[in-house]
Structure 1
Amino acid sequence: MSNDTVESLFFKSLRSKQIAVGVVSLALFVTIMSLVLFEGTKKSVTLDVDGKELEIKTHAHTVGKLLSEQDFEVSQNDLVTPSVNTPIEQGLSIRWEQSKQVAIQVDQDIETIWTREDKVGDVLEEAGIEISAHDVVTPDLHEQFGDDNQITVEKAFQVALNDGGEKRDVWSTSTTVADFLKRENIQLNEDDRLNRKADGMLKPGSIVEVVRVEKVTDVVEEPASFAVETRNDPKLLKGREKVIQQGKKGKVSRKFEIVKENGKVVSRKLLEETTIQEPKKKIVAVGSKVAVASAAVPSKSSSRKAISRNNSEPAGGKEFYVTATAYTAHCNGCSGITRTGINLRANPNLKLIAVDPSVIPLGSKVWVEGYGYAVAGDTGGAIKGRKIDLHVPSKSEAYKFGRRQVKVKIID
């Protein structure tokens, strides 16, 4: 091959390469210019998504197209300002507030709402749920709800609490007695009692009563009563008593278990008794001798002055005035047998008076003004204090005697 031919081929190849480079350069230039023109025709907007701002350039014609172009899914509960149909203009500010689905549990009821609020208090207000100062809300009213999008409301109600006698009304959200006591920091001792089971349910108006039980041991020294022994004494008039030996109380130590409920003693149990000093018994002689008293009894026609003359006043003896009445052995309800065992129906003329033994001892010999000498041998339900009742043979004499003040002397 000649040199001319080789040179010709070289220049042809060079021109082909130059043409190819020129085509590529032109295509690149066109592409760059197209990109510049394309970007230059975009409009700049500001998009605020839940408080975060984004600067975006777009060819979208509407707000809705822009959000779709950015792969943002807008639900019907979201708020877009301006609306999704608003045309895009240079410098437009767009705000998109996303709504969230929140579950609100009020006690046992649950409702679900869509909201754009993020604070618990604002969500509850939007849902129309009123919260009192005693209700328990989780999370707190001033906090944002968590990732679980759940709010719990425990509604408070009043419970009547009686703790050891101290009564008060308490606002509570507890549903069981045990939880209520725990929240109120009420601790039970081993013997304390509740008016209801610990796992029992609470509701508005429930009453929780804590009975505080206290058991203590008390040791006291107390007098021990002495026994009284009676001995029959045939030499002593019936109805009379004579102390042969005075009694003396002993001393014992007693150990008690005392149970108190709410501070008041409800039981006292004797646990142990120890004698410190033995008591000395009292011995009393009781008379069994039947008194026989006789005296001249005036006739029915005799006057009281005659009776007095025949039974002159003795010189000695303890004297005082009493109110005197008269009775017979045949009065209504009378048996005829005196307290000292004398049969008045068998001895209708016997001079005998009924007395109060604390004033005139039974068996005493007495003198009664206007009646004479007699024995204190009977008692009566109405004969109390300085009163006596004179035995006479007939009802007519009893009516005749009536009621009067007389002088009495105790002779023996």
Structure 2
Amino acid sequence: MSNRPMENLFFTSLRSKQIAVMAVVFTLFVSIISLVLFEGSKKSVTLNVNGEQIDIKTNAHTVGQLLSSEEIEVAEHDKVTPSVNTPIEEGLSISWEQAKLVEIQTDAEKETLWTTEKKVRDILELANVKLQKHDEVIPNLDAKIGKDNRITIQKAFQVTLVDGGKEKQVWSTSTTVADFLKRENIQMDEHDRLNRKADGMVKPGSVVEVVRVEKVTDVVEEPTNFAVVTQKDAQLLKGREKVVQEGKKGTVERKFEIVKENGKEVSRTLLSENVIEEPQKKIVSVGTRVMMASASTNGNSTVSRNNSSSSGKEFYVTATAYTAYCNGCSGKTATGLDLRANPNLKVIAVDPNVIPLGSKVWVEGYGYAVAGDTGGAIKGKRIDLHVPTKSDAYKFGRRQVKVKVMN
């Protein structure tokens, strides 16, 4: 074979390689140009995903296509701003908030809803939950909902609180007495007591009463009464008394434990007693001598006393008459005279503060007599004359008479 054919073959092969290289270079050039043109046609947008901002260049035509290209699946309750059908423009700001399922627990009732709201107040408003002033919301209304996506509402109700006797109406969300007292900042001392158990339930209309119990010790000095001792005295007329020794009260120191409930004393217990001064007893002599009187033949009585002086105190009194057989009468006088056995005795009933018992008296229209009796109705300047019969008593009636006390 000649050199010429060999040379032609070499050049043919070289041209084929050049053509192939040029084809590759052209394809690469076209690709680069296409890529440059593709990248150059992208629009710059800002994507906010659940609060996190991302800058993106995209050839997507709509917001929906952009989110899909970012592998974001838009659910029914998600919030996309602007809408998914909005055309992509340079500098467009897009926001996607993923909805979450929130649980709202109101006392024993529960409800759920999908929402993109973050603040508790906005979520409850969306759920159309009506709140009263004293209701308790966890988390609080101005807080963001927690990771557990749960809102707890405790509805307030009225409870009657009686503390130390003072009553007031209180709004509460507590379920136990102990929690209620804690929330109301009620402190209880050692002896204070409740009208119900601390772990008892609190319901609308419940009454929680705190009885304030106070125990104190009180030491007082008090007077003690003296004893009255009587002794018989044969020198005194029966019915008369004479104080031989005046009584004097003593002094005792007493220690008490006092229990007060709501400031009022409910019990007082004597702990100890110490006599500071002994009392002095009162001694009284009581007369036992009986005055004897006898009737004379002329109807006047004589008195066994040797004082016939005509001098004495004179004054007027209201006089009535009675017999030994009057209603309620025993026939025995206060000084021991037996009027039934001696119906003609001249005896008058007197008020001892006006006419002393045992005194010899002269009564106008009656004569000399002894003040030997008393009566429940005989008070002041009034006397009752003893007469033998009821007819004599009726005949005497009631009259003003002069009386002279002889001794």
TM-score (norm 1): 0.82
- Aligned partners of 2:382 and 2:109: how far apart in 1? 87
The CA deviation at 1:94 is 4.9
The CA deviation at 1:170 is 2.6
- Corresponding residue of 1:117: 117
Report the 3-state secondary structure (helix = DSSP H, G, I; strand = E; otherwise coil) of the residue aligned with 2:293: coil
User: What is the 5 A alignment of 1:136-285?
Assistant: 136-285=136-285
- Corresponding residue of 2:126: 126
The CA deviation at 1:298 is 7.5
- Aligned partners of 2:335 and 2:8: how far apart in 1? 183
The structure 1 residue matched to 2:344, chosen from 329, 332, 349, is 349
Q: Please list the CA deviations of residues 109-137 of structure 1 after superposition, one character each: whole Å capped at 9, or x if unmatched.
A: 33223333222222222223333333332
User: What is the 5 A alignment of 1:26-105?
Assistant: 26-39=26-39, 47-49=47-49, 54=54, 56=56, 58=58, 63-81=63-81, 83-84=83-84, 86=85, 88-91=87-90, 94-105=94-105
Aligned length: 399
Please say if residues 247 and 283 of structure 2, whose CA atoms lie closer than 8 Å, have aligned partners that are also in contact: yes
Matched, 1:107 2:107: yes
Please say if residues 104 and 111 of structure 2, whose CA atoms lie closer than 8 Å, have aligned partners that are also in contact: yes
Report the 3-state secondary structure (helix = DSSP H, G, I; strand = E; otherwise coil) of the residue aligned with 2:391: helix
Please say if residues 60 and 88 of structure 2, whose CA atoms lie closer than 8 Å, have aligned partners that are also in contact: no
Q: Unpaired runs of 5+ in structure 2? A: 301-307
The structure 1 residue matched to 2:382, chosen from 371, 381, 387, is 387
Please say if residues 230 and 284 of structure 2, whose CA atoms lie closer than 8 Å, have aligned partners that are also in contact: yes
Gap change, CA 1:271 and 1:76, over 3 Å in 2: same
Gap change, CA 1:42 and 1:245, over 3 Å in 2: same
- Aligned partners of 1:125 and 1:316: how far apart in 2? 114
Matched, 1:332 2:331: no
The CA deviation at 1:7 is 7.0
- Aligned partners of 1:6 and 1:355: how far apart in 2? 188
Please say if residues 293 and 374 of structure 1, whose CA atoms lie closer than 8 Å, have aligned partners that are also in contact: no
Matched, 1:404 2:399: yes
Q: Please list the CA deviations of residues 162-219 of structure 1 after superposition, one character each: whole Å capped at 9, or x if unmatched.
A: 3223333333222222222222222111112222222222223332222222222222
The structure 1 residue matched to 2:371, chosen from 373, 376, 398, is 376
The CA deviation at 1:278 is 1.9
Letter in 2 for 1:331: C
The CA deviation at 1:5 is 8.9
The CA deviation at 1:255 is 1.6
- Aligned partners of 1:333 and 1:220: how far apart in 2? 49
Q: Percent identity?
A: 69
Deviates more, 1:135-144 or 1:290-299: 290-299
Please say if residues 295 and 373 of structure 1, whose CA atoms lie closer than 8 Å, have aligned partners that are also in contact: no
- Aligned partners of 1:10 and 1:406: how far apart in 2? 191
Report the 3-state secondary structure (helix = DSSP H, G, I; strand = E; otherwise coil) of the residue aligned with 1:280: coil
User: What is the 5 A alignment of 1:16-31?
Assistant: 17-31=17-31
- Aligned partners of 1:230 and 1:247: how far apart in 2? 12
Q: Unpaired runs of 5+ in structure 1? A: 303-312
- Aligned partners of 2:287 and 2:2: how far apart in 1? 188
Letter in 2 for 1:349: N
- Aligned partners of 1:298 and 1:19: how far apart in 2? 195
Gap change, CA 1:242 and 1:15, over 3 Å in 2: same
The CA deviation at 1:9 is 7.5
